[in-house]
Amino acid sequence: MKHLFEVEQKPLLSILTSMQPICTKRTALETTGTILFHLEHKELILKSTDLEISLQASCPIENNTVPGSVTFLVAGKRIFELVKELDGLISCSLEHNQLTLRSGNVSLFLHIKDAQEFPPFPERIENLMHFDATFLLDMLEKVAFLIPQHNANQALNGLLLEISAHAMSMTTTDGHCLAQVKTNNYHLTHDCQWLLPRRAIFEVKKILENSSEKTIFLGTSGQQLVFSGDTFNFFTKILTDTFPQYNSILNKEGFNGAAIDRQHLIKALRRSICMLSGQFIATQFGFSPASLDIQMYNKEVGTLHEKVDIEKFEGETLDIRFYAPYLLNGLQAVQDSKITLHLKSPSRPVIFESNSNSIHFTYLVMPVSPSLNS
């Protein structure tokens, strides 16, 4: 006897799309390539895991004649590719070890597996706090770009999330630059910190970008951190590596402040990058009370020399060399028309700061040794 249920293609496809980076990652277990389907009376719950990150999401179903609840496994990539090519309401039926999908004049038959083969899935969640979804996405976008993919220092391949009784911060670094966002809008009664892998951060970003969720909950499930909405739970393992101690390098004691038009500086940096021609060549930045003098020489391409207005710089004339792409990456993460920067000496970093939407953004770039241009 066949048991039937119906599901709309768009919400199902959205979930299957979010699960593709998980179910297509190779692991020691073959069943991580499948997606678990759990059928309730009015809801279809899907689960996917690669043993590092896991996603559970749900969508409504209609005309369900399946008695009780039913759970089975389907090849994750295969069902995604097929559902992508269907439209509208999909009629599904279960019989023996087969899932049938019908849409219009199309009938597809997929083999299913016993759900007992699926790896253990995190279940119990202890919620700690909740965020405005848009605000959380804004914070992630300002720092996630700096997380390296395959740094030899494993601790750099993640984002450090810190929450205290007074504030919440997110910090990332690639060893050359450091980005941090901090807000007083969210806090906990006790200090917590977690180092989250790069994959998890970018998957959470994609979920937030494609979701209509207004509120996101943060919680724990055993040794995992969980981001949840009304229709999903995203689980991630926590990196055990120790994130670098960064507080001392952000100390601005003895630094001189200045302000500069962000867009003018970005355009100057882009012109400097055009002169690089794929080479690692430092650009010279001459800071003075009157202006910022930018010079870059590439013997194979030519020379760049331009001036950008600078405000409120009270220090002595200072020449520092930076790799222009490092500066540009961070400045593109903020939208302020003017940005504040802090300088001390040719061997110390430049520290940019911005405040908007209750988020304090800090971006630090280490200088380049003049000998590297020789």
Answer yes or no: are the C-beta atoms of 179 and 190 closer than 8 Å: no
The domain over range 126-237 is classified in CATH as 3.40.190.10: no
**C-alpha to C-alpha distance for 241 and 61, rounded to whole angstroms:** 43
Q: Long-range contact list for 144-147, CB < 8 A, 24+ apart?
A: 144/172, 144/201, 144/202, 144/205, 145/179, 145/329, 145/333, 146/172, 146/173, 146/174, 146/177, 146/178, 146/179, 146/329, 146/330, 147/172, 147/174, 147/198, 147/201
Task: Provide the CB-side half-sphere exposure for 248 (13 A, CA).
Answer: 2
Answer yes or no: are the C-beta atoms of 261 and 337 closer than 8 Å: yes
Domains 126-237 and 251-373 share a fold: yes
CATH architecture type of domain 251-373: Roll (3.10)
pTM: 0.91
Q: What is the pLDDT of residues 102-148, one digit of tens each?
A: 998 999 999 999 999 999 988 889 999 999 999 999 999 999 999 99
**C-alpha to C-alpha distance for 40 and 68, rounded to whole angstroms:** 7
Q: How many CB atoms lie within 10 A of CB 142?
A: 23
Q: What is the pLDDT of residues 14-27, one digit of tens each?
A: 999 999 999 999 99
Please give the CATH topology (third level) of the domain spanning 3-117. DNA Polymerase III; Chain A, domain 2 (3.10.150)
Instruction: Classify 38 as helix, strand or coil.
Output: strand
Closest alpha carbon to 343 in 261, 286, 269, 258: 258
Per-residue pLDDT of the chain (374 residues; tens, 9 = 90+): 466 889 999 999 999 999 999 999 999 999 999 999 999 888 999 999 999 999 999 999 988 887 778 899 999 999 999 999 999 999 999 887 899 999 989 999 999 999 999 999 888 899 999 999 999 999 999 999 999 998 889 899 999 999 999 999 999 999 999 999 999 999 999 999 999 999 999 999 999 998 889 999 999 999 999 999 999 999 999 999 999 999 999 999 999 999 999 999 999 999 999 999 889 999 999 999 889 999 999 999 999 999 999 998 888 899 999 999 999 999 988 888 999 999 999 999 999 999 988 999 999 999 998 655 54
What are the domain boundaries of the chain? 3-117, 126-237, 251-373
Contacts of 216 (CB under 8 A, 6+ apart): 130, 131, 132, 133, 136, 208, 227, 228, 229
Listing DSSP states for 147-181 in one string gives --SS-SSGGGSEEEEEE-SS-EEEEEE-SSEEEEE
